[in-house]
Amino acid sequence: MRDLHTHTQYSDGANTPEEMVQAALAIGLSEIGISDHSYTFFDESYCMKKESIPLYKEEIAALKEKYAGKISVLCGVEQDLFSQESTAGFDYAIGSLHYLKCNGAYYPIDCSKEGFEALCKSFFGGDYYALAEEYFSLMGSYAAREDILLIGHFDLISKYNEKGALFDETHPRYLAAAKKAADRLLAAGKTFEVNTGAIARGYRTQPYPANPIFTYLKEQGATFQLSSDAHKTKDIAFAFDRFSNS
């Protein structure tokens, strides 16, 4: 079993890369991918520092050698759609979207429920389905990115929507937008995460993508990859036993 979506102190994680590798080895994983957040010039609060990227690559390369024969270690990156950094030199890149660009500024969609509600009210007139249409349209654009093979938390905008708190995830407009993006990504051969991170952090009771979207993807023959999005060693491979046969 492997976990390709994890974070370290190079971005917003709590542990060092080696601590993450050791924890993965301790629970019997065959492969661990470190995938810290790509540098975003408009928000440096959570991502890798631009000057730290070469050191990040060097440190993980050293861990590959040190743990060879025990566990496979990969050097990945979680690439935000609005990041202007190259993905060259990484073993793989996860394509995700943490912001919407409105009136020339970048607004996070996953920092707080209050912030997400304010974003929707200010720029979409409180219409969560209009926001979803914009979000999924942007996610679908990853179809044109040959460097992106894995799609991260496809429906991240549902982070604060447990039990339909903000909108209906079975609404025709919502599902139409998600399916349109999914179709583009599927045609491009992308793999979708089944991401358990929001469960570990208490936001959700099911992984990304939520059941209606997951069911559609499965019906269309999508390829899936279990991912923990772990920011701490204790969350590596979180709930993989529950969702490995989903």
What are the tens digits of pLDDT across the range 115-156? 999 999 999 999 999 999 999 999 999 999 999 999 999 999
Omega into 209 within 30° of 0, i.e. cis? yes
pLDDT digits (tens, 9 = 90+) for 4-31: 999 999 999 999 999 999 999 999 999 9
User: Which homologous superfamily is 2-243 in?
Assistant: Metal-dependent hydrolases (3.20.20.140)
Q: How many CB atoms lie within 10 A of CB 165?
A: 10
Reply yes or no on whether the pLDDT at 75 is more than 70: yes
pLDDT digits (tens, 9 = 90+) for 144-155: 999 999 999 999
Residues 66, 14: Cα–Cα separation, whole Å: 22
For 124, the enclosing helix (H) or strand (E) is helix 113-124
Q: 59: closest CA among 70, 48, 69?
A: 48
Which residue matches tokens 């073993």?
91
pLDDT digits (tens, 9 = 90+) for 193-237: 999 999 999 999 999 999 999 999 999 999 999 999 999 999 999
| 49 φ/ψ angles, rounded to the nearest 5 degrees | -75, 140
Instruction: Identify the pLDDT of residue 245.
Output: 73
